[in-house]
Structure 1
């Protein structure tokens, strides 16, 4: 190994030919060049050779260090193995009990994979506490790994144009600092995608750098993407009073939210993030979720989250074990930030299960990744009853972990009865989790202590809405059938109760200084949809029919108050269309009632067919410029109706919260 290190710099001979002849594979000296224009022949200069020798890829240094570590640890394990054999002298020579022998650690048994990954340009053994790309912060890390081929003039011109545009989007240093501080104090509790302490230190470096040279010269564009994501989240979620105090006009909010979101994506692309993996790109994507749905970027965000999950796994965030007790607080903070980030990605992935019937991140991570209940400042693990920056996300992570378990259990069942048993089982687990296991400061009826941070009350409101929505998601597959089959009446009652809880919290007076979180808009749409579908299966003369129709009207008015939110605008339009269809059904039913003296059950069945869900979905699809879900024309009436209702839910999901890809904006 020592010899390898010593001779590595001599492994490449200097070329004797000129550059052009070398490319044409003509051997000899530059003086003997056969080209007519010998003046065009260029031999590599000494400076160029020295420069090439100094630009050794970081992967080579990493390979040297890793091989040395593996050899050292392997020798240590061999000695321990021999000592174990010697201590078992009473048994047959050379025979060792495999169960009692000390196995080689993963580092040694995985050495072949580590080296193979390095050959691919990837590193399987990433340590986020000392990796150089994580130490650089906003400063660009000098590395050849993931670097594209030398840029042409057109590519350089395009890059320069992008940088000029990004520079024009950057507000004043004062505004940047206000946006960052607001995100740390009012939004980070909701997603925990990065460490406020670490980013604050890096942000100070960024401010010093911006005052001394060109804005983006030598910057780490993946870190810059995280900064734009933070600013986009603050601009999207800050209430109008706060924006006015900062000096932003009302019309600037939707424009800057969208442009800063797109700027973050541009920075990721400029950094070649799909090839050069760092934690900053994952943090940026996870942070963007809080603004993506309001500005109409739900589809883009769902794709980015999948990429972030794969990058996080390549960085080893899913393998962060228990920290040693003597670890310094700085390293512990970095590792804890990695755990929180990966838990956030798992939450995003698992909450989309009711829609996609699949998940990407292994469900076993819920038992392996356990972030601490601590604040970034002191990193002291607190009891669950003490509110910290991590408390809300940690509890939501436990709720999310139920979703893959429900999917796996239901997929093994072969009848509606056994599938519904699993739904009832996890409904019970969800209720217990939201009552008996909920931290005190998040419980709705518990008094709020004066020493608690402001986000304790915001988290209580948000969790009430989200927990109720997750109950609906657990029952989602049985919502349509519950309207016509009394065997599943519990689902109908449960979803109506959950929808009322959502609207009660959403429509209630909120803290004017608190952040505007997008789920309040999205999940209120989902709740109103439940009431609309229930009304379509009720007698218009019933009291509940009128109550539910009024709740839909109230929801439309609530959504219209969010003038700059795409999800609220689309939801209000869809609910207004649904309200008009229900009005038509009510008028037609009133006319027919005079000639129809059949039983109430027969009338209910006819009323359920008066609202043509398939036509309604097709019309709404055309209005929004998307393809409506296809349905067959030979299905039985009841099955067709069920499919139409599910198609309606599927169509509305990107905007109403029925789609798990858009359930959480962490």
Structure 2
């Protein structure tokens, strides 16, 4: 009796270990599994012993075989062979209707009947796994080159080897990726460029077998063509027109859809969305990418990027790759996940909501390390660099800290609740805003010296680091402005919120606009105009004088900013448009 009670009946042998099944967490389905190894329970990792009862399963198989034989009889005539079910099956094993060639052999009824039964069995297993453990089928996907969606005939392989990229030559692609690695990879920091460049070399003769990799390839080319200087693009023989950037962008998005990225989850697809993000917003594709970002977050969660676990001295390295490759891949996954976290949390001021909660992931912040394998991996470990050493990760790691403050501020505001008409409730919210203001400014003070303009020295740093320092300053000013968003209007009417005016004006009006010695003449005119607007706003709200003249304020501001080259040819027009001054008014 006791043995009967201790043995559970099941229609199949369990794949997950007993520890993971009890705790309802994802299992790698190996003994010992990676989850038990991480928890130090590898000695107790085992599968549950069950009594397999497959009577119902055999009945289902017989019923499926009977249906398959009926389909075979219906497909015996030419008219029935071209029926929609047969076409749908054939489409799944090609690159789509547009990629079909005369060399493709039609799917015979016999092969259809033979392959249909295990396909439906697998679907049943996947359905059960989905209900109990989540999207395990995504994690168990093999190499995408072996996927039926990427199956091609030998004739197609030969053609792809010579024409898989009609937009740029191989030599141009090498130059562009090298330029991207040196000057632009810090912007997204989700691609390990040395590895990607090696992948390009391996795909030159055979062509890419994964459409998602091709989408990432075009995304990197597009980002470089958009951000690089025209002279640098011309040196590489690349077009500088906006239409070429749009063409590359469209090609990347098209490759994503051809890869069926919403159903076939790969890291390449997530990286593509991350890389294209800034270009997409500048091409007026913000609505599309707000949805793609949400899709990238869900794809990343199905790939397990949110549950990589803390960094440890020893890791379980899967078979087929070296330890160095595993560590590099882990760092890339960490960077990709935190890119999505950062983007999700930094948009909180615009939507007052977020998708990712801090309790929903345990992936640590990426290491500050170099990217070349010789300096990145030593003695089987990732070599950590101090924050004062500039690496490709330095910029994103500092922005991560600011994003965490934005998220905490939102959580504190929600915990305080809606103030309604209570002034005490409003002041509680303002206290949280003052806390966030202080925290963001403290994060900027703690940034390495090469990210602060007053402490920046050009010795030993890449040329673009000087621009990054300006970006950090402007970004910090922007974040300070956004956390005060709830009190911008009140600060004009109520002196209790006057700190909002002081903080925002000090950050935006002075720190971000004044350091403009290297700006062009037209940019300085815009800076002078903004200075005038800030000065007038401040005078209108806080001036103790009962009477003052706008002309005097504008003249004083223009004299302060009169050290730029060129004349103020646009001065009268700006004065007439923004200040109501006559066109013949003298700015001097």
Q: 1:355 to 1:427 in 2, by over 3 A?
A: same
Does residue 495 in structure 1 map to residue 533 in structure 2? no
The question of whether the paired residues in 1 share the 8 Å contact of 2:536 and 2:553 is answered with no
Higher relative contact order, chain-length normalized (CA < 8 Å, sep 6+): 1
Does residue 255 in structure 1 map to residue 243 in structure 2? yes
In 2, Cα distance between the equivalents of 1:61 and 1:468? 54
In 2, Cα distance between the equivalents of 1:429 and 1:16? 66
Does residue 422 in structure 1 map to residue 432 in structure 2? yes
Superposition pairs for residues 516-535 of structure 1, below 5 Å? 531=534, 534=537
Does residue 348 in structure 1 map to residue 340 in structure 2? no
Q: 1:167 to 1:320 in 2, by over 3 A?
A: same
User: Deviation of residue 444 (structure 1)?
Assistant: 2.8
The question of whether the paired residues in 2 share the 8 Å contact of 1:373 and 1:384 is answered with yes
The question of whether the paired residues in 1 share the 8 Å contact of 2:215 and 2:255 is answered with yes
Q: 1:526 to 1:579 in 2, by over 3 A?
A: closer
Q: 1:53 to 1:445 in 2, by over 3 A?
A: farther
Q: 1:176 to 1:41 in 2, by over 3 A?
A: closer
Aligned to 1:319: 307
In 1, Cα distance between the equivalents of 2:183 and 2:172? 16
User: Deviation of residue 492 (structure 1)?
Assistant: 1.0
In 2, Cα distance between the equivalents of 1:46 and 1:542? 82
In 1, Cα distance between the equivalents of 2:431 and 2:336? 34
SS for the counterpart of 2:387 is coil
The question of whether the paired residues in 1 share the 8 Å contact of 2:413 and 2:432 is answered with yes
The question of whether the paired residues in 2 share the 8 Å contact of 1:186 and 1:455 is answered with yes
Q: 1:554 to 1:583 in 2, by over 3 A?
A: farther
In 2, Cα distance between the equivalents of 1:576 and 1:296? 32
The question of whether the paired residues in 2 share the 8 Å contact of 1:126 and 1:315 is answered with yes
Aligned to 2:367: 372
Residue-pair matches, total: 463
The question of whether the paired residues in 2 share the 8 Å contact of 1:354 and 1:474 is answered with yes
User: Deviation of residue 189 (structure 1)?
Assistant: 0.9
Does residue 583 in structure 1 map to residue 573 in structure 2? no
In 1, Cα distance between the equivalents of 2:268 and 2:307? 18
Superposition pairs for residues 71-90 of structure 1, below 5 Å? none
The question of whether the paired residues in 1 share the 8 Å contact of 2:308 and 2:362 is answered with no
SS for the counterpart of 1:247 is coil
Superposition pairs for residues 516-665 of structure 1, below 5 Å? 531=534, 534=537, 537=540, 540-541=549-550, 545-546=554-555, 580-584=576-580
Structure 1 residue corresponding to 2:209, chosen from 219, 237, 241 = 219
> Structure 1: 5+ residue runs without aligned partners?
24-29, 31-37, 67-111, 148-162, 211-217, 512-519, 558-571, 591-666
Q: 1:503 to 1:171 in 2, by over 3 A?
A: same
Between 308-317 and 443-452, the greater mean CA deviation after superposition: 443-452
Aligned to 1:463: 472
In 1, Cα distance between the equivalents of 2:582 and 2:563? 21
In 1, Cα distance between the equivalents of 2:365 and 2:244? 36
In 2, Cα distance between the equivalents of 1:381 and 1:388? 11
Aligned to 2:404: 401
Between 451-460 and 187-196, the greater mean CA deviation after superposition: 451-460
Aligned to 1:442: 451
Superposition pairs for residues 121-520 of structure 1, below 5 Å? 123-124=135-136, 132-133=142-143, 136=144, 140-143=145-148, 170-210=167-207, 219-250=209-240, 252=241, 254-324=242-312, 325-326=314-315, 327=317, 328-364=323-359, 368-377=363-372, 378=376, 379-411=382-414, 412-413=416-417, 414=419, 415-435=425-445, 437-448=446-457, 450-499=459-508, 500-505=510-515, 507-509=516-518
In 1, Cα distance between the equivalents of 2:560 and 2:119? 61
Q: 1:305 to 1:115 in 2, by over 3 A?
A: closer
In 1, Cα distance between the equivalents of 2:402 and 2:362? 13
Q: 1:410 to 1:322 in 2, by over 3 A?
A: closer
SS for the counterpart of 2:356 is coil
Q: 1:552 to 1:444 in 2, by over 3 A?
A: closer
The question of whether the paired residues in 1 share the 8 Å contact of 2:388 and 2:448 is answered with yes
In 2, Cα distance between the equivalents of 1:317 and 1:344? 11
Q: TM-score, normalised by structure 1?
A: 0.59
In 2, Cα distance between the equivalents of 1:296 and 1:39? 49
